[in-house]
Amino acid sequence: MTTPGDESRTELAWREIVEHYGERPVLHDDEPPTAARKGEDDARDREPLADHLVDDDKVEVREEAIAERFQPPAPPPFPRPRTWQRGVAWAGIFVPPVLALVIGLLSIYVHPLFGWALVVWFVGGFLFLVREMPRGRDPWDDGSRI
């Protein structure tokens, strides 16, 4: 730690770095800087842009007006599985990984049989859903919807 009278080489080197670092900002003593005043000062002090830099895009103005009025539609209801077997299979896709993550993060001891049951539930649910996928497909249908 340095003292006010210490003029070591390190202290002199740091002082020189600070003195020569970038341009010094010009501070006006008559107005205290505030966020609201700074924005107003920038708007008043700003020089007009050159003609080729002025953005006079009418489409952008119209899009901003539409964006202010836009109300997104209500989200669709949560889909329900068609059968209880599908519900168990979908639960097997999401529940076992979440339980395994919680068990691992909290270092909870569980019987190995419970861990294997989670693995079987996950794999079984995945295989069931793959088996239940529709088999036939129109060769001209690429899946896109308009």
Q: Per-residue pLDDT tens for 63-79?
A: 777 777 778 889 999 88
pLDDT attached to residue 8: 83
pLDDT attached to residue 68: 79
The residue among 36 and 9 whose pLDDT is bigger is 9
pTM: 0.46
pLDDT attached to residue 32: 56
Using alpha carbons, select from 83, 121, 86, 80 the residue that is nearest to residue 100. Answer: 121
Handedness of CA 52, 57, 60, 61 (dihedral sign): positive
Angle formed at CA 47 by CA 45 and CA 49, multiple of 5 degrees: 145
Structure tokens at 30: 């008559």
What is the C-alpha separation between 77 and 86, in angstroms, rounded? Answer: 18
pLDDT attached to residue 62: 79
